[in-house]
Chains A and B, each alone.
Chain A
Amino acid sequence: MSIIQQHTQATLSDAWRTINIDALTEDSSVNFDVSTLHPPLPEISEADARAINGQVRQLLRGGDAEGALRGCLEMPVYNGSEAAKETHLHTVIEVLQSIKASEMTPMLQRIFAQQGGSECLDVLMKYLYKGMAATSSSSSSAADGSGRATPARAMTPQATGGFSQVGQRPMASNESTGSAMSVLLSWHEKVVEVAGLGCIGRVMTDFRRV
């Protein structure tokens, strides 16, 4: 009951396996817009994202870090321009950086226990991953910059003096991204403790990207 009833030269090779039969089927997944499967999400403009940023900053200045965190997690930018998403990411990271390490876990537990808290932590996890992607890509681009400079210097015999100079610039940028990364990583650990591994799974499956 094999697919191939008679072996010919064509079936003996594996070339037929690489035919993309999806492209040939009218109603296959590659021939329709996947976004039609989901209900539309409200669009948030960059101005809205900035307004949220202002409100969140006000809460932070007032000392209500938990309110600020909840505020920005309840208004994630799912549908918006890159700039709006970027703005909101900065808002979230700003809030995260302003919260002391000792306050993280109790705050997360309080948020988790509230109505819709699990959803909030899922959103937080999405921003943590987005933040990590952003900081790591900026640090890798910095490394690229130095990477381009190194071969030229490596060819010259007196490269040692130059090396320390090259080494310094990326080090400086690494320090800031490194500290941002360590904040994100410690938050990540705390969120997994409270919301479990299910939270990571949800971030990966969710069609609503931040």
Chain B
Amino acid sequence: MAAPEVHHLFHHPIADHSFSADRQTLAIARDTQVELYGRVGNAFKLKDELKGHDKLVTSVDIAPNTGRIVTCSQDRNALVWEPSPTGYKPTLVLLRISRAATFVRWSPSEAKFAVGSGDRVIAICYFEEENDWWVSKHLKKPIRSTITSVAWHPNSVLLAAGSTDAHARVFSSFIKGTDQRPEPSPWGERLPFNTVCGEFLNNSAGWVHAVAFSPSGDALAFAAHDSSITVVYPSAPEQPPKAVISINTQLLPFMSLFWNGEAEIIAAGYDCEAFRFQGGEQGWQLAGTLEKAKAGGRPGLGGEDREESALNMFKQMDLKGKVSKDDTQLKTVHQNTVTMLRPFEESGGRVTKFSSSGVDGRVVIWHT
């Protein structure tokens, strides 16, 4: 396994990051603005700043085909940034929410996007040609609290949302005129707007931090604040699911997760490193960390490292009272909570590389 590619951009939390389709441009949500970094050799250099929000930008997403960037912020607005020869031009979206916007994602069709908010609604936004304006429709029922994350089904109609009311839900966001009628799936056949196709919570019911559909869309995974991930396999519309599998871990809670094929989930969060889960309908288990087991950075010299650490131990005992250098350094690549994971490179239905960003201001590209 090749070493991860680490980009330490600045000493400030990264709320969200997104790569363009050619992976040459990286958008970073930093404070009240979005920074665009361009790849120069092996590094990313600051190229442009998108200023338009006046409160913390909570989420950013680049549409792979159109190149449009959507951002949302605690100032209750979402902006669509249209690429043009003279730079990006912002367009305000009418969200009609009275609390912070927390999370935004383009649908796979790129015709619409979903904005989660602290106002107990999800705004489904689409472009109205006749008014030349991005408008929104609200998914409201039965959300009882802030939406922390949303994820799209491959058909661009079904939307999963995780909420601080401890539920992960699947909604239909069908917009007449924008969407094609979706194929029937285990989630439902007729799907008018705001159909609740599923509502799930796990035993201890912690806040849901992240949701994700499997590549086929026929399974849903969510990570909650009780350090668990839960995988749901629906059976048929209006029927209880075939299987709901909850894996409680010994670790700290996960903030983000994605599917790598149908039988693997990668999740990361407060433990500052990514973990692999493997399984299927019969059951799931934690398969281990993606962080290379390293002690001194040089593989094959394990014995020497151990000797070195024993020496260090006695040295520190000798110099008691003096702070050792390693005290402030985590053994993981990320030095603080990982808040977002995104697939970076895919081939043959498998994610071969993924990127992570976190509170430590690093963006890291990993090999799975």
State the A residues within 8 Å of B (CB). 1-3, 21, 27-29, 32, 37-38, 118-119, 122, 195-199, 201-202, 205-208
Contact = CB atoms under 8 A, between A and B. Distances in A.
Nearest to A112: B250
B253 A201 contact: yes
B234 interface: no
B205 A206 contact: yes
A199 B250 contact: yes
Contacts of B201: 37-38
Given A1-B52, A37-B144, A205 B252 contact: no
A197 B252 contact: yes
Contact of A198 (B75, B167, B252): B252
B318 to A, nearest CB: 28
Interface of B: 52-54, 75-77, 92, 98, 120, 144-145, 165-167, 201, 203-207, 224-228, 248-253
B89 to A, nearest CB: 15
A206 B204 contact: yes
11 contacts: A1-B52, A32-B144, A37-B144, A37-B205, A119-B248, A122-B204, A197-B227, A197-B251, A198-B228, A202-B226, A205-B225
Contacts of A206: 204-206, 226
Given A118-B248, A202-B204, A207-B166, A1 B53 contact: yes
Contacts of B204: 122, 202, 205-208
Given A29-B144, A205-B207, A195 B250 contact: yes
Contact of B206 (A32, A37, A197, A205): A205
A45 to B, nearest CB: 23
Contacts of B253: 198, 201
A41 to B, nearest CB: 11
Q: Which residue, A3, A32, A197, has most C-beta atoms of chain B within 10 A?
A: A197
B71 to A, nearest CB: 12
A198 B227 contact: yes
Contacts of A32: 144
Given A2-B54, A201-B252, A202-B248, 12 more contacts: A2-B75, A32-B144, A37-B144, A37-B167, A37-B205, A38-B201, A195-B250, A196-B249, A198-B250, A201-B225, A205-B206, A207-B205
A198 B226 CA distance: 7
A207 B92 CA distance: 40
A35 to B, nearest CB: 11
Nearest to A32: B144
Contacts of B227: 196-198, 201-202
A179 to B, nearest CB: 29
Contact of A196 (B76, B145, B250): B250
